[in-house]
Amino acid sequence: MAAVASRRDRVSTRSGRPAASLIVSNDSGLALQTKLRAYFKPWRQQSRPSSKAEAASFSATPVTADQVFTREDLSGAQQMFGRIAEDFMRTEVLPREKDIYARDWPLTRELLLQAGELDLLRVDIPEAYGGLGLDKVSSAYVGEQIGIMPSFAGSLGAHTAIGTLPIVYFGNADQKARYLPLLASGEMVGAFALTESGSGSDALAARTRATLSADGTHYILNGQKMWITNGGFADVFTIFAKVDGEQFTAFIVERDMGVVSGREEPKLGLDGSSTTALILDNVQVPVGKRARHGGPGSQGRLQHPEPRPAQTRHAQHRRRKAGINARYSLRRRTTPVWASDRRLRDDQAKAGRDGRALLCVGDAMVYRTLGDVDQALEAVAETESEQSAQDHRRLRRRMLH
């Protein structure tokens, strides 16, 4: 796609250096998380406050403009990719809003395929597996445009984030080669199955079990997952279960292995996205579909290093809602007393201004945080590159001697 043909030329707005491969495709998610923690450790140690006054000292610390990423720092390529996402939403998705809310899942799948053709599903997938491997700011900006229609944004976001990234971060080479190109194109739709009726925030209380078959070729999964986004039509699921009731482990499970979807859950919103239970009744999963990290180490997935804040997907929706509320507040008349009406309008106008100010603050916080994360990832990549160069020089010296 022409819009992303320049992705190899994309530049970090802070350093001016090429930002190639900020998603480390050859590293496991846990290894990358360890490196990020090491990067931030000195800062955390220095910033641990010993008093309330010290805790507030950040507000008096000088910060230069080049240290803070803002929306205005988006590059031309990032803005163009964002416009492609917005045009897709306005021309292909919004005109079919009624059908999406009527739960026309074949239509949702068709739109996801179209999004794949525009590279909108490839943003966070490494280039080696058919993705774009873009930075987190680019990912968030595209997600923001998709948020124009929250229900479809929920379907697409569940596919590209929790449906795909566990394989990006924790899949082995064979699993990545098998699934990531199909998820990147939209030929397969992904979903994530962690929650159960008795284990929400306490994920390790899950009761779904995985038992190794007698011949050692399959795990047999039994249990039920709840409130799974894309549950009604996804093709591949990242499902968590306890091996022998103890080792909390993720499995990559295809629907035709025996996954059954429950009814569509009634909701107070997002009616155009699928949310169902998953019933696992003696589902046979080949041992090769077990994720690379099992047992205690699999808890790292619950804190996997995906730093894109969910708020970015709904920023456009919040702006639209703020605009609707502002227009409604100006039309609404609650009392015929003109003095009270005038005072009420003044209060409503002030509330509107405050709301817009909060939107701006939230926007600034999101992009500054993402800019900091991209800077950290870039530093990790540079450290790895320098270490690799040093290793190469040592090896060369040994060969020469």
Q: Give the pLDDT band (50/70/90) at residue 24.
A: very low
Backbone φ and ψ for 208, nearest 5 degrees, come out as -60, 130
More confident residue, 204 or 18: 204
pLDDT of residue 61: 73
Question: Could you tell me which residues come within 8 angstroms of residue 366 by beta carbon, excluding any fewer than 6 positions away?
Answer: 140, 309, 311, 312, 315
> Can you tell me the mean pLDDT for 306-318?
51
Residue 7 has pLDDT above 90, yes or no: no
The answer to which of 106-110, 137-141, 345-349 has the lowest mean pLDDT is: 345-349
Q: Which amino acid would we find at residue 199?
A: S
The answer to whether residues 241 and 252 touch, using CB atoms and an 8 Å cutoff, is no
The pTM of the full predicted model, rounded to 2 decimals, is 0.75
Task: Provide the pLDDT confidence category of residue 369 given band limits of 50, 70 and 90.
Answer: confident
What mean pLDDT, rounded, does the chain reach?
79
Residue 42: predicted pLDDT: 53
Q: Letter for the amino acid at 258?
A: G
Check if the beta carbon of residue 30 is closer than 8 Å to that of residue 293.
Answer: yes
The per-residue b/e assignment along 122-149, b for 16 or more CB within 10 angstroms, e otherwise, is bbbbbbebbbbbbbbbbbbbbbbbbbbb
Find the mean pLDDT for residues 206-210: 95
> Worst-scoring range by mean pLDDT, 61-70, 160-169, 312-321?
312-321
Distance CA 95, CA 114 (A): 15
pLDDT the model gives residue 380: 78
User: Which domains are delineated in the chain?
Assistant: 1-46+64-189+305-401 (1.10.540.10), 190-303 (2.40.110.10)
Most confident segment among 206-220, 317-331, 369-383:
206-220
CB-based burial label for 80 (10 Å; 0-12, 13-18, 19+): middle
For range 147-175, the mean pLDDT: 94
Percent of the chain with pLDDT over 90: 51
Note the pLDDT tens digit of each residue in 320-358: 555 555 555 555 554 444 445 556 566 666 666 776 777
Residues 6+ apart with CB under 8 A from 15: 375, 378
**Alpha carbons 357 and 213: distance in angstroms, whole number:** 58
Rg, C-alpha atoms of the chain = 24
Residue with tokens 């968030």, as numbered in its chain = 140
Could you give the CA distance from residue 137 to residue 56 in angstroms, rounded to a whole number? 28
In the structure, what pLDDT confidence band is assigned to residue 367 with cuts at 50, 70 and 90?
confident
Which residues, 6+ apart, have CB-to-CB distance to 200 below 8 Å? none
**Between 25 and 217, whose confidence is greater?**
217
